[in-house]
Amino acid sequence: MDPIKESLLKTSRKAKQEKIGKLVTFLCILLIMVMVVAIILFVSLKGLATFVVNHVSPFDFFFGVNWNPSAKPPQVGALPMFLGSFIVTVLAAIIATPFAIGAATFMTEIAPRTGKKFLQPVMELLVGIPSVVYGFVGLAVFVPITRHLFGGSGFGIFTATLVLFLMVLPTITSMTTDALNSVPRNYRESSLALGATQFQTIYKVVWRAATPGIMTAVVFGMSRAFGEALAVQMVIGNAALMPTSLTSPAATLTSILTMGIGNSVSGTLENNAIWSLALLLLLMSLVFNLLVRWIGKRSSLK
Amino acid sequence: MKFKKFLVTLIFPFLAISLCACGIKIKGKQMTVVGSTALQPLIESAAEEYLKDRQGLFINVQGGGSGTGLSEIQQGAVSMGMSDLYAQEKKGIKADTLLDHRLLVTGIAPVVNKKVKVNNLTFKQLQQIFSGQITNWHSITGQDLPIVIVNRSNGSGTRFNFEKIVLKGNKPKPAQEQDSSGMALSIVSSTPGAISYVSFSYLKDTVLHPKVDGVAPTQDNVKTNRWKIWSYEHIYTQKNMDQTTKDFLKFLYSPKVSKLISAMKYIPTNEMEVQRDFNGKITPTNVEDK
């Protein structure tokens, strides 16, 4: 047969490579998909067992204020932990956001050259510090200071908030920096051309235009704070009580989770109740993700 | 060629996974011990000693907590499970399917912050403190200092045994919880008015360890049950264990390990003059058993 005709009729080597490439990348994404679905299924199955197998009413779980699953009768109120998680997260975000916006503005608007050269790498370094180090700093520095200022043991929501503030500050700052950097240059130039000062330009134009990006940064920071386990567990005191004061010991979902899982036997109510907490945590991170998406969508409409 | 590299990167993880799977299947050459973190350091040093003249054998000692230890041994996933409590005391464990080896006894002592001027507590006072009936040191020492209770986490063996013996069914006062004995100890040493409890091996001079009803927390007082707050550390095995497990278990009861046990401020079970069953009933040890 004519060699040219043959080569035209056969699948070429390049076409084969194309197919294999597609297959390989598809397998990779399939692996990730399977893992995500498996994790969600597994946690849901275990977490729902509290309600289905152990017949705990969801109302008691979400609104009960006593957590003691090994007592008789078992008490599985998750509200203290949920509130604990929620309060530390929101407080940390509220304190961290102004600092983050200030730092990011300095790095992008006021001194962009030093910002890129020195401050950015420093911030990125902070993001990479393991959480146990933050926890240790909290234990060695913030706990004694809190105890000195407010009395008590020094463990509690206030201290946890300070530690989380440290942890989420670099995350929020670096994302806010990206948001500010992505504001088009001509916005600033037009504002300056109209006679606005640099500060007026920053807070009337740049911040305004970057608001969705900044919001996304804050929500990301919050989702990191909400899921943080180790550092918080080291300084919050881990008492599953309704939070009554900022300086008395409280607990978060993650701290109770990490402490309880090794001490309970798989299949018992104690164990299932902890899985329910994990499910709650998973749902909350889903909410944070949806929030980020929602903010992104709203900004793209503009 | 590029796609070959692609294939290699894809195949490599699978190969690695299957290799791991092979590793697990080689039985008799390695064993895993899982459970109580209180017992873990001792078993680790014992295993190290044991493996010195045994090439090719590997003993994997992991923590994870008593609950993990008991459920893993019940499933037969490991060779030995370490536990701070009787299997009967843990919900979800069928105790009659397992063999209990009470390896050693550990005393548990209350520890108090040094700002509190206390040398002796009565058993009753201890009970009232941890159930929340006394909330200030005033009625005990005359100091106006609030009592800060530092608990171990819910389900911890030390806490379970302490509450079982001291509170005798009274409800514990909800308080802050710590994951480890070391952490509880360092909080007590730094927080004015704090009280907690740790096993003897953790006792340090950074905190007070008051007498209870005039009895000092020492190993000798535990042997005679004059010091009442003590518990067993258990090794649980399946009823039909393999030879490797049997040999190591025998080693754990050898004089070499007994020395190790005493050095870590624990008491080897065969030195006890009394024994306690899982209902809390105390009987003198039979001489023949020794």
- The interface predicted TM-score of the complex, written ipTM, equals 0.71
Q: A17 — contact with chain B (CB < 8 Å)?
A: yes
Q: A259 — contact with chain B (CB < 8 Å)?
A: yes
- Contact criterion met (CB < 8 Å) for B154 and A268: no
A280: pLDDT strictly greater than 80: yes
Q: A266 — contact with chain B (CB < 8 Å)?
A: yes
Nearest CA in chain A to B170: A71
Chain A residues in contact with B66 by the CB 8 A cut-off are 262-263
pLDDT of residue A242: 86
Q: A8 — contact with chain B (CB < 8 Å)?
A: no
Q: A245 — contact with chain B (CB < 8 Å)?
A: no
Chain B residues in contact with A271 by the CB 8 A cut-off are 67, 92
Q: B10 — contact with chain A (CB < 8 Å)?
A: yes
Residue closest to B130 by CA, chosen among B143, B138, B118, B121: B121
Q: A29, A234, A264: best mutation site toward chain B, by most B Cβ within 10 Å?
A: A264
- The Cα of B102 is separated from the nearest Cα of chain A by a number of Å equal to 19
* Interval A18-55: pLDDT, tens: 999 999 999 999 999 999 999 999 999 999 988 988 88
Nearest CA in chain A to B10: A24
Q: How confident is the model at residue A245 (pLDDT cuts 50, 70, 90)?
A: confident
- Contact criterion met (CB < 8 Å) for A265 and B2: no
pLDDT of residue B240: 86
The DSSP result for chain B, as a single string, is -HHHHHHHHHHHHHHHHHHHHHHHH--SSEEEEEE-TTTHHHHHHHHHHHHTT-TT-EEEEEEE-HHHHHHHHHHT-SSEEEESS-GGGSTT--GGGEEEEEEEEEEEEEEE-TTS--SEE-HHHHHHHHTTS--BTHHHHS---B-EEEEEPTT-HHHHHHHHHHTTTPPPPP-EEESSHHHHHHHHHHSTTEEEEEEGGG--TTSB--EETTB---HHHHHTTSS--EEEEEEEEESS--HHHHHHHHHHTSHHHHHHHHHTT-EEGGG-SEEE-TT--EEEPPTTT-
- Contact criterion met (CB < 8 Å) for A265 and B91: yes
Report pTM: 0.79
* Interval B5-59: pLDDT, tens: 555 555 555 555 554 444 444 444 788 999 888 888 899 999 998 998 887 888 9
- Contact criterion met (CB < 8 Å) for A239 and B70: no
Q: B91 — contact with chain A (CB < 8 Å)?
A: yes
- A16 compared with B2, residue with greater pLDDT: A16
pLDDT of residue A279: 93
- Contact criterion met (CB < 8 Å) for A260 and B155: yes
Q: CB-CB: which of B64, B175, B183 is closest to A239?
A: B175
Q: CB-CB: which of A68, A155, A261 is closest to B176?
A: A155
* Interval B204-251: pLDDT, tens: 899 999 999 999 999 899 998 999 999 999 999 998 888 888 889 999
Q: How confident is the model at residue A297 (pLDDT cuts 50, 70, 90)?
A: confident
Q: How confident is the model at residue A214 (pLDDT cuts 50, 70, 90)?
A: very high
